[in-house]
Structure 1
């Protein structure tokens, strides 16, 4: 029975898409602790934006934004072929795994390190100058571990709430547009639903993590939320050709009949 299930193309595709969906979302949460400068990365001067009276804003973004566009492309693909129930299953599974991951990090942070480990990255065989450089960069492995994996509770909560709310909104907008347009205009239902859900996501995560959790002003929350959304808007548009490419590959893999059946079932399950 297991062999027959795994030989089913629809099942194999769901496992593949689901695996990438969960992996991308989980990795985005884990690497999101780092903030990078988009302008410096591209080798251009930082933009000097003034939004809602907050001056000198530029595209300083969490590294997690590199992966979230792929998560929302996957959301729309899964939505197209497996409907609301497919997206909900993977969204709740992902949220549960993120909570599990951070619970394990919390335990790991509070374990007492072995005596040798905090300095284990500094080998006595290295020249003294290199040892000194390593001590300057990272003097204590255990302290670095705590800094990287010890994200604040409000940030984790804000990210989870924003993720789940964004997924719910994405599904609703996607199927509402599809009901109106039918099979036409993939870009409208996919990119449109992503733009709406990411707008909500951009502000919810900041409101919970920093307005509630860190006493930021609403003015600052809205200003940084706008900067984040501008980036997400651009990425949603850039990812549109990728969406069509993935659709083409999936249609070839499933065949016209199975692909059409899955899409009809997905649309019916959204009601």
Structure 2
């Protein structure tokens, strides 16, 4: 049976998509503890602007946003060739494995460290165990907010994508890909902040809306920039599986019989 799986190109492609999707999501969650300045990344001073009455804002983002746009590109591609059921499957798989990973991080933090390991020769790090806990010990509200936002936004993305595809057929890939991503990213941007910092912290609604809007503008711009990537990947898929097979995959993804 394994030989049949390895010989079937659409199956191998789906396994590859699933592996990359889960790995990318897990990496994004792990590096998401670091906040960076987008302005400083481009060598300019922070803007310090006001939005919705919230003063002294700048474009500070979690490093996770560097990878999350790829998740939505992957979502659209899988939806295009395998359908919404496949997207839900890999999304649920990602959530389960990310939860498992954070459980292991928590257990690793609770394991008593060796005495020689605590003392470090790195001048900037006084206590290795404390540093380890600081890196991997994200607040539970942040973890919960991130996972809920990810799952809900994925469901929104796949639903809107499929509805637009039923109307446009194989045409206007950019419309269903970009449109579904723009809506799902809007949902994602506010859910994670609401759960992590409104329910789990002391943020005001004003701050949630202002920071969420800044984050969404960044994500929307990246989504628009990455639109050509979807066309490039689709071209590579057509070349890999063949035009006829790719066409049948798209029809099956829409719940139609092969023509």
The verdict on a shared fold, with TM-score over 0.5 as the criterion, is: yes
Residue 50 of structure 2 corresponds to which residue in structure 1?
Answer: 50
Q: 2:135 aligns with which of 135, 148, 151?
A: 148
Query: How does 1:1-271 map onto structure 2 within 5 Å?
Result: 1-119=1-119, 121-122=120-121, 134-135=122-123, 137-268=124-255
Name the SS for the 2:36 alignment partner. Answer: strand
- Stretches (4+) displaced over 6 A: none
The whole-number CA distance in structure 1 between the counterparts of 2:45 and 2:117 is 40
State the 1:30 CA deviation.
0.6
Q: Deviations over 1:184-226 (max 9, x none)?
A: 1111000110000000000000000000000210110000000
Residues in 2 aligned to 1:141 and 1:149: alpha-carbon distance in whole angstroms? 12
Paired with 1:62 and 1:9, the residues of 2 have a C-alpha distance of: 36
The whole-number CA distance in structure 2 between the counterparts of 1:153 and 1:96 is: 16
1:103 deviation in Å?
0.4
- Structure 1 stretches lacking a partner, 5+ long: 123-133
- What is the distance in 1 between the residues matched to 2:231 and 2:58? 31
Bigger Rg, which one: 1
CA distance in 2, matches of 1:210, 1:64: 17
Determine the C-alpha separation between the residues in 1 that align with 2:88 and 2:169. Answer: 22
| Superposition deviation, residue 47 in structure 1 | 2.0
Aligned length: 256
The normalised TM-score by structure 1 is 0.93
RMSD: 0.9
- 1: CA distance between counterparts of 2:59 and 2:255? 41
How far residue 6 of structure 1 moved from its aligned partner, in angstroms, is 1.2
Residue 56 of structure 1 aligns to a residue whose secondary structure is: strand
How much has 1:52 moved relative to structure 2? Answer: 0.8
